[in-house]
Structures are given as C-alpha cells and as structure tokens.
Structure 1
C-alpha cells in the first residue's frame, strides 16, 4: 500500500467510517452496498481498521460487526451482481490479526463452516478471499491456541481436501485458490496433532491422487512439501505403507 493510501485509510478510520458503514448495513439499506463493502475492504487493510471492525474494546459488542457482515455475505450468495463478494477480502484482512483469527474460530459461532461453504461459490473472489482467510487461520493455529477447534471440524477439513484433490468431486478450478487450500493442509500437517488427524482422515492417499492430476507448479511444490512432512512422521504411524503412498514427488518427473 502506498504512503498516500495509508494516510487516507488512517484518516477515514479516525473519522469512524468503519462504524458508519456497519450502521448503514445493519439498518438493511440496499443502495450503494457494493461500494461500501469495497471501501470496508480497503479500510481493513490497516490494523486500526480491522480493530474498529472487530469491536474488541467492547465486551458486549465484540464480534457483532463480523457476524452481521458474514450473515449478509452468506445471504447474498448467488446474487448477480454480487453486492457482498468483497466481504471475502475483509475476512482475509481481519485474519491477519490474532484477534480476528480467534474470533472466526471461536466455538459456537459457526464462522469456520461459513467460510468453507463459500469455497464452492461460483464467484472467484468469494472463493479466493475465504481460502486466504482459512490459510491465515491455519498458519498460526498452534500459536493462537485454536488448533484444536480447527481440527475438530473434520467435515470442513474433508471439504478442503476434496476441493484441493478432486477425488470424489470436481477440484477447485483456480490454481491460486488451490494453493491457499494446500497451504492450509501444509500448516496443519506441520503440527503433531494436525498430522495425526489428517492421517486418520486418509489425507495422504487423497493428496497422492490429487497430485497425479495437478498441473500447476506452485501447487505441486506445496503438495510435495506436505508429502515430506507426512513422510517425516510416517515412523510414528502404524500403517507404514501410507508413507510410501505419499512419495508422489518421485512419481512426477
């Protein structure tokens, strides 16, 4: 972001524009929604804008704005034109902060499932933004203390693996989105707890099959790193043949 843009964003945040946008959206107005959500996506490129949106200074309101945004984001899925697709970028932005990641993964809110549901959207911006938000959440999950919450939702993990690998359903068409999903798996496998959960889900076999049909070099490289992580841990797993099945890097010459 340019210095000039950073200054403009900072001034708008100081003027409480984030709160004004949310007040407008909460009142149910339909005019200029797309432009306002785009502005919100720009304002949350700054940490101060993210914190304003998260409302962490109020115990009674913390997370309320995000819940409202997410509800309208989900309710508008499939609309043409899509007035809320830039909400996906807002979600990417707030998950740069620990506070945002913890909020999205807080048990009982259902926000993780909401993000994963949009990975099947026909709108590329929705898929990309949600995949990046999930990647942000996975990168620091162990450090944030949210790893258990992520791994508990095996249905969401299954969806991520399916969209990445395309074993029983069509794989994600956008290579950048696939790579974000692969990086989610990479970060989870890099933890002892995450590696075990994914072993139990038979992720190595799914990834092997997905790798066989993967054509994008960057996605292939990420999947190879995942394979090496699984292989490094294969000695602790009873089914040692699964470790052999992961040796996809040698098969793809």
Structure 2
C-alpha cells in the first residue's frame, strides 16, 4: 500500500494531463477519510507541493478543483496548514482566485475554504495580511472583501465567497488584521457591516464575529467605529431587539434605520452566538464615554430592555446584564424591567 501511494503521488506530476487528473481524483477521495489523510500527511513533503502545482496548471481540466478539495481537507490539520503556508499556498490561492475565480466558481469556493483553514494558524494570517510589505499590505484582504460584498446567493451551494466571512473572523482576531479592516481610507469595515442584512447565516455570523473582534479596538479606534454608526448600530441592535413592535414614542428617539425596522414584527435571530457577539460588541463600545453617548442617542438602552424581556438563553442574558451593570455603574438612571430578571433597563432624563 505504501508503494502504491508513493506511486500515486508521483502521478500527480506526470506529463500526461489525463494521468494527473485521474491521480488527483483518487487523492481527493483519500482525503475524505482519516486513514487516507494520515497516509498523505506522512508524505506531505511530496504531496503538498504536487497539489499546489496542480492548482496553477490545471485550468479548465477539473484537476484544479480536485487538488483544491484535497488541500481543503488536508489543511484542516494545523501542522499541515502551517506547511502549506510555508510553501506559498496563500499566494497561490489568491492568484488562482483572481485569474480563474469567475470562470471556475467551484474552484474559487474551495480555495476560499482552504484560506479559512490556513488563517487558523498565525503564519497563515500574516501571509494573508501581507505583513512586512507596506506596499501591498492589506491588498489580499481588500480583494476578498470586494468579492465577498459583490457576490451573494440565496442558495448556499452557489455562494462562491460566503466563507470569506470566516476568514474575516480569523484575521480580525489579531491587531494587524483589525487595523487593516478599520482603516478609514480602505472603507472595508463599512462594506462588511452592510453584509449583515444577508439571509445567509454563515455570512451573518461571520460579520457579527468580525464586528465584535474589531470592537476590541474601541478604546483607540472609537471614532472610526462611530463614523459608521448609521450602519453599525442597526447591525448590533436589531439582532437583540426581540420581535415586538416598538411604540411610536420609543421609535421617535431612534434614527430612521432602527425605527423603521422596529415598527413591525420581525423574525428573531435564532443563532444565540450572533446575539451574544453583538452584545459583546456593544459592551466594548459603551465602555467608552463617547460610546455610551452614541448608544443613548439611538435609544439603545430601551432596545436592550425590550429585547431582554424575551431572551431565554442564559449566556445571552448574562451579556445583556453586563451592559446593564456597566451603565448602572456609570451612574446612569436605571430601573428593573421585571421582577424575575436581573437586567436593569436604562432611561435618561
């Protein structure tokens, strides 16, 4: 078996395109199981470079898609992901997506999925951010955001760039990534926030996680965040506003983007992680004086008060309560919203 696998890997570099195609199809099948992955990982020194070469050389043959699928499966292992980064997999993926993504959406989708795996390791994040080269730093990220925001689909199978949402979460976990996303001249965060209206849950969850991560910079980047308030507050507050119709009095104290959305019943955001992430983002913003003032200006306390009344998830409730405690500690006037819930609703006089 070992000799057969070595021979198979050799066929990945055969001069005959048909032989390469048949070999990579078999490799793709092997990566679908633990035994195959383990065997190929033991031969990573030969298998990984051969698969990367197929990405660039197999335009239109189908071999590129099979190679990309194989690399997606292999790169789920952190050690193999790091080796792929060292072999230039990030550059290779971005190059192929740029040149052939429009003609081969399935190939582009697989390569984006591979980039998700590669950005789970620090070296992959650095490579995608192009850290160390000021002339091109952030270029790959800008290209991915542009593709992410220009393409969408109601059918998840056809949404070529939906997994960019997960890449954005990964790179926004580090300061360098947040800095690139929040740089005003690039305008990337604004584009990302506007994707929160997507019906695609992967996109929505990725946007929520990215915003939340960027809010870790609220102490130094608050004005950049608040410059996007028109888009930021609806993205953060609507998921935690509950399903009730808000009174005309409540809505009169909100900007149009919020008051319009809260003037009718809505479908609840079922994903509790999204609700928790948006609340954590709000918390980091209202830690700052200007952030609290902005939160108050959109009637945010009332929105959280109403939303909390219908919340049942303990972790999400705790996130609501943390904001309530923060504002209470900041000496804002508070009142209990119910006898059996600990969150304090806020009103200002």
Bigger relative contact order (CA 8 A; separation at least 6): 1
Q: Shift of the alpha carbon at 1:182?
A: 0.9
> Match of 1:41, SS?
helix
| Cα distance change of structure 1 residues 109 and 83 upon mapping to structure 2, 3 Å threshold | same
Give the number of equivalent residue pairs: 240
How far, CA to CA, are the matches of 1:249 and 1:98 in structure 2?
40
Residue 164 of structure 1 is aligned with which of 234, 237, 240?
240
**Aligned residues: CA RMSD:** 1.9
User: Which is greater in Rg?
Assistant: 2
Residue 157 of structure 1: how far off its partner (Å) = 2.7
Show the counterpart of 1:105.
Answer: 182
TM-aligned CA deviation for residue 114 of structure 1: 2.0
Bigger Cα displacement from structure 2, 163-172 vs 53-62: 163-172
Decide whether aligned partners of structure 1 residues 251 and 150 sit closer, same or farther in structure 2, where only a CA change above 3 A counts.
Answer: farther
Separation in 1 of the partners of 2:116 and 2:305?
Answer: 37
Instruction: Quote the residue 1:147 is aligned against.
Output: 222
1:32 pairs, out of 75, 90, 107, with: 107
Matched, 1:125 2:202: yes
Q: Which runs of 5+ in 1 are unaligned?
A: none
Summarize deviations over 1:60-95 as a string: whole Å, max 9, x none: 211111111011111221253222111111000000
Q: Give the CA deviation at 1:250.
A: 4.7
Which of 164, 174, 193 is the aligned partner of 1:116? 193
After TM superposition, give the deviation of residue 126 of structure 1 in Å.
0.9
| Cα distance in 1 for residues equivalent to 2:137 and 2:146 | 16
TM-score normalized by the length of structure 2: 0.65
Distance 1:199 1:14 in 2: 48
| Higher deviation after alignment, 217-226 or 104-113 | 104-113
- Shift of the 189–146 alpha-carbon distance from structure 1 to 2, 3 Å rule, reads same
Structure 2 residue ranges without an equivalent (≥5): 1-75, 247-261, 343-349
Deviating above 4 A after TM superposition, structure 1's stretches of 4 or more consecutive aligned residues are none
The answer on 1:86 being equivalent to 2:158 is no
Distance between the aligned counterparts of 1:210 and 1:157, measured in 2?
Answer: 18
